[in-house]
Amino acid sequence: PWRTEAQGHLTVDENGDPKTDYSRWRLKDDHGRQTWHYLEIDEENDAWPQTVADKYHLGLPTDLPDLPEATTPLQAAENGLSFFSHLQLEPGNWACEYGGPMFLLPGIIITYYVTNTPIPPEYAIEIRRYLFHRQHPVDGGWGLHIEAHSSVFGTAMNYVTLRLLGVSEEDARMVKARGLLHGFGGAIYGPHWAKFWLSVLGVMDWDCVNPVPPELWLLPDWVPFAPWRWWIHMRQVFLPMSYLWSKKFTHPLDPLTKQIREELYTQPYDSIDFAAHRSSISDTDNYYPKTWILNTANWFLVKLWNPYIRPSFVTKRAEDWTWELIRMEDENTDYAGLGPVNNPMNMVACYLHDGPDSYSVRRHRERLNDYMWVKHEGMLANGTNGVQIWDTAFITQAIVVAGFADDPKWRPMLTKALEFFDDHQIRENVPDQEKCYRQHRKGAWPFSTKTQGYVVTDCTAEGLRSTIQLQEMHGYPRMISADRLKDAVDCLLIMQNPSGGFSEYENARGSEKLEMLNAAEVFGGIMVSHDYPECTTATVTALSLFSKFYPDYRSDEIQAVKEKAVRYIKRVQRADGSWYGSWGICFTYAALFALESLTSIGETYATSDYSRRGCEFLLSKQKEDGGWGESYLSSERHVYVQHQNSQVVQTAWACLALMEAEYPNKEPIRKGIKLIMSRQQANGEWLQEAIEGVFNQSCMISYPNYKLYWPIRALGLYAKTFGNEDIF
Ligand code: LAN
């Protein structure tokens, strides 16, 4: 249905696929809203020159000069910062690719297709290239994330995406992918989300999808498993899913989808008993098997509730109420949505409810672009609409820790960063926050932008910390008033859970037992907000810093919250001295935050058994070459798994953790620092190594800026702690 070939300027890439002209792509950053633009018209292309940041993100040569060779850590940090400073964008933030998950593009492309949204040809070309670059070279499939083994979810969804983007079923790579998929038993062995999307597209029968009843939204709030108690991402995905499931929305069959129907299974489409495969799932995908409780609930819904009981007035009320909540989510985020899974689903719901040319559909169409990213391998979907506040906070802190904040050379850059914090602090709660079950957010910082607008505890903590560092400690202009800092503190204080720990988006609202209802199969720990060591420790560290400058503000409460939080942190330390990290890989990441927070309340290697055991754990994992390297398998398996190679990012985390804990022996740290310096390039940058981040235990996600600012911070702290000696 779409034009999939751009007008001109095309070349061919190393796989023989059409490629756009990379000198025509530009990243636009409008108050933190990041979108990519392809300038096909020469005059436009000439009028808007490519910046160093554009070139860097696209993988083009940046032509930045070689810097004087660094022999001391501080010179190395300065070189790193010189490089990184070129990547700051006009509003003051830094941008980056935020890929990793391999199930985001398919949802977006299916949404384009079923809402008859024309896909820009340059998008189609680059998405195809990206997916082929990420196809597993040996078996021809795709996995849950870029480093994962092939699975039905990854293979079926990305295969379909390529077909929708105009790739022929006879392309040798597609033949191979199909062979693998058939070897797995076909798309009927995919997880719930795959079955949902394939049914929306009309290449699977809704009978194959386990129930997603919108009626659950009608349960009174006191019911222990009512959806308002679920983890926010599950809840907000379940919401449009339940609406579309209830309506059994399906794209009308067309010649292409008719063909795809015959490609995804091992037998002719019409001969498949879809209902018999509702619960089928391939071993490759089954990270978290369905529990007997969930299976029983599904049985009840399918065999009794839907055919015999489901009263139509209840269905109608449930659909109306679900729609109302979808509308509120859209309006509260200006159609950007919480993330790249619920946003396209909401768009399909708007298409169905409001019609193809409605404002809601048009606005969603524009907003989908906020999730797209172009890199040398093509175009991908980011895990959020950016990493703006998060990266900007950590680069600020790295500069401060390294002692560069007072240097006039870096002042304009940090002033811009502060402007960004000012612009993106959330100033108001959402309208009717109780009605749509939103958390108090006034004073918070989000992970990306205020448009997305969801409070995150550790993002608020890091925003607060960075602001205090600049305004209070280094005399930057007071853009954010004391009252606004106090709003941030107020916001954090109410987010402590009874356990003492902190979750990321909301207070825990439901029991951990709700995990028994996890229907997604491919993820773990997704049903409720859990306590996280990282979120808890970041909050403690930020509150400690705040109280230094505002000792009179709610001091008793802050003290009590911190003490309770520290008891939680100590309680969840494992017998071997480690903490399981949920958002970075993995034990190394958590150690950094945990040890830093213990120091912030005065517990260090010398004075605290907890800190000492945390350090010993890290030391026991140091590699021969002086570095640290932890595999993403740690996150999946919950035990430390060494990566084959040392990683710059994890080496920086481990060195920082040891230094923050005031570990007295500099030797192991010096070795780590030396490794970091040895990997630095002549222009000051570090190169991409293994993936850094994770969510839901099983899915990895990239934080490409980590390789730049964590080393800068570690090098800077080393110079401060042990002196700026010659290491090289
Ligand atoms: C993120 C990204 C940031 C991350 C940190 C701030 C690093 C963390 O400390 C708290 C949790 C948070 C905010 C987080 C939560 C889950 C997200 C939004 C993600 C990992 C990015 C992508 C992921 C989201 C759930 C992806 C969409 C997939 C679904 C299963 C809905």
Provide the pLDDT for residue 245.
Answer: 98
The angle that helices 73-85 and 388-401 make with each other, rounded to 10 degrees, is 150
Q: Which atom of ligand 1 sits closest to the CA of residue 103?
A: 28
pLDDT tens per residue across span 503-531? 999 999 999 999 999 999 999 999 999 99
436 contacts 332 by C-beta, under 8 angstroms: yes
Q: How far is the CA of 695 from the centre of ligand 1 (A)?
A: 6
- Residue-level pLDDT at 728: 79
Check: CB of residue 572 under 8 Å from CB of residue 631.
Answer: no
Question: β-strand 25-30 against 33-38: which pairing, if any?
Answer: antiparallel
Give the mean pLDDT of 429-439: 97
Q: How far apart are CA 630 and CA 699, in angstroms?
A: 15
Q: d(Cα 551, Cα 592) in Å, to the nearest integer?
A: 26
Q: What is the pLDDT of residue 2?
A: 43
Which DSSP helix (H) or strand (E) runs through 33? strand 33-38
Scanning the structure block, which residue is given the tokens 């795709």? 142
Report the residue among 329, 342, 394, 447 best suited for mutation to probe ligand 1: largest number of ligand atoms under 8 A from its CB. 447
| Candidate of 384, 541, 705 to mutate for ligand 1, largest count of ligand atoms within 8 Å of Cβ | 384
Out of 102, 108, 333, 456, mutate this one to test ligand 1's pocket (max ligand atoms within 8 Å of CB): namely: 456
pLDDT one-digit tens code per residue, 315-357: 999 999 999 999 999 999 999 999 999 999 999 999 999 999 9
End-to-end CA distance of the chain: 60
- Nearest residue (by CA) to ligand 1, atom 8, is 583
- What pLDDT is stored for residue 6 in this prediction? 52
Pocket of ligand 1 (CB under 6 A): 233, 237, 339, 341, 383-384, 390, 447, 456, 458-459, 504, 523, 534-535, 583, 695-696, 701
Q: Of 197, 695, 700, 705, which is best to mutate to test ligand 1, by the most ligand atoms within 8 angstroms of its C-beta?
A: 695
Ligand 1 atom 1: the closest Cα is on which residue? 695
Closest atom of ligand 1 to 526 CA is: 30
Measured in Å, residue 233 CA sits from the centre of ligand 1 at 9
Question: In the chain, what percentage of residues exceed pLDDT 90?
Answer: 98
pLDDT at 286: 96
- Does position 416 have pLDDT exceeding 80, yes or no? yes
Looking up tokens 């010659």, which residue turns up?
726
Q: How far apart are CA 488 and CA 343, in angstroms?
A: 27
718 contacts 652 by C-beta, under 8 angstroms: no
* Token pair of 661 as six digits: 């804990």
Give the distance (Å) from ligand 1 centre to CA of residue 32: 18
Ligand 1 atom 7 nearest Cα: 583
Query: What's the 45 CA to ligand 1 centre distance in angstroms?
Result: 35
pLDDT in tens, 193-243: 999 999 999 999 999 999 999 999 999 999 999 999 999 999 999 999 999
Closest ligand 1 atom to Cα of 584: 7
pLDDT score recorded for residue 9: 86
Distance CA(438)–CA(455), nearest Å, equals 10
Distance, in Å, from the CA atom of 19 to the CA atom of 23, rounded to the nearest integer, reads 12
Question: Ligand 1 mean position to 425 CA, how many Å?
Answer: 19
Q: Please report how the helices 312-332 and 359-368 are oriented relative to each other, as an axis angle in degrees rounded to 10.
A: 50
Residue 329, CA distances (Å) to 284, 324, 345, 456, 638 in order: 34, 9, 12, 17, 34
Cβ proximity of 425 and 444 under 8 Å: yes
Closest C-alpha to ligand 1, atom 24: 383
pLDDT above 70 coverage of the chain, percent: 99
The per-residue pLDDT of the chain, averaged, comes to: 97
Ligand 1 centroid – CA 383 distance (Å): 7
Q: Looking at residue 7, what is its pLDDT? A: 59
How close is the Cα of 528 to the center of ligand 1, in Å?
A: 14
Ligand 1 pocket check: which of 153, 583, 586 to mutate, most ligand atoms within 8 Å of Cβ? 583
Query: What is the rounded average pLDDT of the residues 658-672?
Result: 97
Name the residue with the closest Cα to ligand 1, atom 20.
Answer: 695
CA 666–ligand 1 middle distance (angstroms): 35
User: Residues 18-71: pLDDT tens digits?
Assistant: 999 999 999 999 999 999 999 999 999 999 999 999 999 999 999 999 999 999
Q: Alpha-carbon dihedral of residues 590, 596, 599, 601, nearest 10 degrees?
A: -80
pLDDT in tens, 267-297: 999 999 999 999 999 999 999 999 999 999 9
pLDDT at 629 over 50: yes
Q: Whose CA is nearest to atom 31 of ligand 1?
A: 233
CA–CA distance, 634 with 585 (Å, rounded to integer): 7
Closest ligand 1 atom to Cα of 456: 13
pLDDT tens track for 80-91: 999 999 999 999
Going from the Cα of 197 to the center of ligand 1, the distance in angstroms, rounded, reads 21
Instruction: Pick the residue whose CA is nearest to atom 10 on ligand 1.
Output: 504
For the whole model, what pTM was predicted?
A: 0.96
DSSP state of 118: P
State yes or no: pLDDT of 487 exceeds 80.
yes
655-664 burial, b at 16+ Cβ within 10 Å, e below that, comes to bbbbbbbbbe
Specify the residue with its C-alpha closest to ligand 1, atom 21.
Answer: 383
**Annotated catalytic residue within 29, 205, 285, 458:** 458
Residue 517 · residue 223 · CB < 8 Å: no
Contact 401, 110 (CB under 8 A): no
Q: Give nearest CA residue, ligand 1 atom 25.
A: 233
| C-beta separation of 106 from 197 below 8 A | yes
Which atom in ligand 1 lies closest to the alpha carbon of residue 695? 20
- Is residue 531 annotated as part of the catalytic site, yes or no? no
Q: What type of residue sits at position 51?
A: T
CA of 462 from ligand 1 middle (Å) equals 16
Instruction: Give residue for tokens 């409070």.
Output: 455
Q: How far is the CA of 8 from the centre of ligand 1 (A)?
A: 38
pLDDT tens, position by position, 563-573: 999 999 999 99
Task: Assess whether pLDDT exceeds 50 at residue 162.
Answer: yes
pLDDT given at position 548: 97
Nearest atom of ligand 1 to the alpha carbon of 459? 6
Q: What is the mean pLDDT of residues 479-506?
A: 98
What is the predicted pLDDT for the residue at 417? Answer: 98
The protein residue whose alpha carbon is closest to atom 26 in ligand 1 is: 383
Poorest-pLDDT segment among 1-10, 669-678, 681-690: 1-10
What ipTM was predicted for this assembly? Answer: 0.93
Q: Which atom of ligand 1 is nearest to the CA of 383?
A: 22
**Structure tokens of 186?**
């076909």
DSSP-assigned letter for residue 700: E
